[in-house]
């Protein structure tokens, strides 16, 4: 079967400075690493997975986003250091510490997650056959986390999202044909479970299993265990020189002002009915805006989405729907999503890079762009100006562009 990345002219892509899609790595070389599995997966597609990878490879790092800024903010010059992820005050040492990105289960049997309420940013995207979603929260000050679960396997489009933040990446298992080569390279500072397909695995003690749940939905870890492995692998705990800020926040002490923007208080990334093959529908995922505290509260599987450790419902200050082209890679339903590229003036491709930012009960529409693995995807409005977020936590949903009509916003 000929997939669309087999038909891409890379020369043309580079001339246009747009990465049209994530190129698949050498699948045939990696298939031998698929023999071992973590156990029963979310769907039948897990049978080819080492759970014990999935590669939406982008272009080489030949382009640099001119909009991206190196580490350091204008706000800290006036008010002191702030977090790159939330825009909230922090110490100078905390500001320079790299975040941790962790793959967490979101199938119903693997919920609720433990420790997710501490995340500063959460990514969500469809999984095999677009039946369910998986989550990748990013944590600051993660070294002291006492319990974090439940860890699942890697997909390449999540890895590319982690690279936007220069994050250390933790997972247990991977869809080896599509992400194994990436995880085994120097491109990613990963802490990988000791499963088939990983050349440099973490120690066996890094990812224990809880006796309170059934495999494969019972793998957890702690900040201390992950820190031990990061030091063992000699990963830098502070940002690299290539790190750039992703978000633009409202000025300190102010709210993002989008008075003229449309109201949006209920957000359904997969629509309001189940059974649609967009990833979110079967999860019954949605967000409700509360004007009293200016937060978006998360619901799924017909109830509040909570943190197992605290029992508290997850709530964020911003929600982003980032629309990406996607497609199935094989007969098992493994997916790939476009993680690089951007809108071009004079080219009718704006729908391929559409973004909807929800903050303060308003919806701001625009486009996103990203041209290198070390670049973050940046969000601009219809005038090309950066979209300001309110300071605090952010939830980013990768929306399968081919199912954009399923999205409901009220």
Q: State pLDDT tens for residues 273-316.
A: 999 999 999 999 999 999 999 999 999 999 999 999 999 999 99
Provide the 8-state DSSP code for 56.
-
Percentage of the residues of the chain whose pLDDT score is greater than 90: 77
Q: Which residue has the tokens 């002191």?
A: 80
pLDDT range class, residue 348, cuts 50, 70, 90? low
Better-scored residue on pLDDT, 289 or 70 = 289
Tally of CB atoms within 10 A around 197: 28
Q: State pLDDT tens for residues 72-98.
A: 555 555 579 999 999 999 999 999 999
pLDDT in the model for residue 349: 67
What φ, ψ does residue 96 adopt, rounded to 5°? -90, -5
Better-scored residue on pLDDT, 349 or 319 = 319
b/e code 107-133 from CB counts within 10 Å (16+ = b): beebbbbbbbbbbbbbbbbbbbbbbbb
Least confident of 18-32, 185-199, 389-403: 18-32
pLDDT range class, residue 21, cuts 50, 70, 90? very low
What φ, ψ does residue 2 adopt, rounded to 5°? -85, 120
**Contact partners, residue 330, CB within 8 Å, separation at least 6:** none
Strands 266-268 and 286-290: antiparallel
Better-scored residue on pLDDT, 1 or 261 = 261
Q: By three-state DSSP, how is residue 341 classified?
A: strand
Bridge partners of residue 304, in order along the sequence: 299
Distance CA 388, CA 304 (A): 28
Q: Which residue has the tokens 């973590």?
A: 38
Q: By three-state DSSP, how is residue 352 classified?
A: helix
Torsion of CA 36, 40, 43, 45, to 10 degrees: 10
- Residue 350: which domain range? 4-409
pLDDT in the model for residue 7: 35
CA–centroid distance for 339 within its chain: 10
Instruction: Dump the DSSP string for 263-318.
Output: B--EEETT-SSS--SSSSTTTT-EEEEETTTTEEEEEETTEE-BBTTT-PBPEESE
Structural domains in the chain (count):
1
pLDDT in the model for residue 281: 97
Q: By three-state DSSP, how is residue 362 classified?
A: strand
Provide the 8-state DSSP code for 375.
S
pTM score, whole prediction:
0.84
Tally of CB atoms within 10 A around 267: 23
Distance CA 130, CA 275 (A): 10
Q: Return mean pLDDT, the chain.
A: 85
Distance CA 380, CA 2 (A): 34
Q: State pLDDT tens for residues 111-146.
A: 999 999 999 999 999 999 999 999 999 999 999 999
Provide the 8-state DSSP code for 44.
G
Instruction: Dump the DSSP string for 204-259.
Output: GGGS-B-TTS-TTTTBEE-HHHHHHHHHHTT--SB--TT-B---EEPPTT-----T
- Which residue pairs, CB below 8 angstroms and at least 24 apart, start in 31-38? 31/176, 31/177, 33/176, 33/177, 33/180, 33/196, 33/197, 34/176, 34/177, 34/196, 34/197, 35/196, 36/195, 36/196, 36/197, 37/173, 38/153, 38/172, 38/173, 38/193, 38/195, 38/215, 38/216, 38/219
Q: Are 368 and 353 in contact (CB under 8 A)?
A: yes
Q: State pLDDT tens for residues 210-257.
A: 999 999 999 999 999 999 999 999 999 999 999 999 999 999 999 999
Which of 39, 36, 192 shows the shortest CA–CA distance to 102?
A: 192
Q: State pLDDT tens for residues 349-360.
A: 667 899 999 999
Is the pLDDT at 5 greater than 50, yes or no?
A: no
Count the residues in the chain. Answer: 410
Q: From residue 322, give the alpha-carbon distance in Å to each of 218, 342, 410.
A: 30, 12, 18
**Contact partners, residue 24, CB within 8 Å, separation at least 6:** 3, 5, 55, 57, 178, 329, 336
Q: Are 406 and 347 in contact (CB under 8 A)?
A: no
CATH code, domain carrying 339: 3.50.90.10
pLDDT range class, residue 153, cuts 50, 70, 90? very high
Is the pLDDT at 340 greater than 70, yes or no?
A: yes
Strands 378-381 and 362-370: antiparallel
């Amino acid at each position: 079967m000929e997939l669309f990345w087999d038909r891409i002219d890379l020369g043309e892509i580079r001339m246009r400075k747009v990465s049209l899609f994530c190129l698949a790595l050498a699948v045939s070389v990696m298939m031998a690493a698929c023999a071992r599995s973590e156990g029963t997966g979310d769907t039948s597609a897990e049978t080819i997975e080492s759970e014990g990878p999935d590669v939406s490879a982008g272009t080489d790092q030949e382009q640099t986003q001119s909009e991206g800024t190196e580490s350091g903010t204008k706000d800290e010059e006036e008010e002191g250091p702030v977090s790159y992820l939330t825009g909230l005050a922090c110490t100078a040492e905390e500001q320079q510490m790299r975040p941790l990105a962790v793959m967490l289960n979101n199938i119903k049997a693997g919920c609720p997650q433990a420790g997710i309420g501490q995340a500063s940013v959460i990514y969500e995207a469809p999984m095999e056959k677009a039946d369910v979603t998986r989550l990748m929260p990013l944590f600051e000050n993660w070294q002291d986390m006492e319990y974090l679960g439940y860890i699942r396997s890697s997909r390449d489009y999540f890895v590319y999202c982690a690279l936007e933040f220069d994050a250390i990446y933790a997972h247990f298992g991977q869809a080896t044909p599509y992400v194994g080569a990436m995880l085994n390279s120097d491109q990613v500072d990963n802490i990988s479970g000791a499963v088939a397909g990983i050349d440099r695995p973490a120690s066996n003690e890094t990812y224990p299993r809880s006796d309170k749940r059934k495999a494969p939905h019972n793998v957890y870890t702690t900040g201390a265990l992950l820190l031990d492995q990061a030091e063992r692998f000699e990963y830098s705990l502070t940002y690299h020189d290539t790190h750039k800020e992703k978000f633009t926040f409202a000025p300190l002490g102010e709210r993002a002002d989008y008075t003229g923007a449309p109201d949006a208080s209920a957000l359904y990334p997969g629509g309001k009915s189940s059974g649609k093959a967009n990833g979110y529908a079967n999860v019954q995922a949605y967000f409700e805006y509360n004007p009293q505290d200016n937060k978006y509260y998360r619901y799924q599987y017909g109830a509040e989405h909570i943190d197992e450790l605290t029992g508290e419902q997850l709530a964020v200050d911003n929600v982003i729907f980032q629309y990406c082209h996607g497609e199935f890679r094989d007969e098992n339903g493994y997916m790939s999503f476009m993680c690089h590229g951007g809108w071009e003036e004079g080219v009718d491709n704006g729908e391929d890079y559409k973004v909807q930012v929800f903050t303060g009960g308003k919806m701001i529409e625009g486009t996103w762009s990203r041209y290198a693995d070390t670049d973050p995807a940046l969000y601009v409005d219809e005038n090309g100006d950066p979209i300001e977020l309110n300071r605090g936590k952010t939830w980013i949903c990768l929306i399968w562009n081919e199912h954009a009509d399923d999205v409901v916003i009220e």
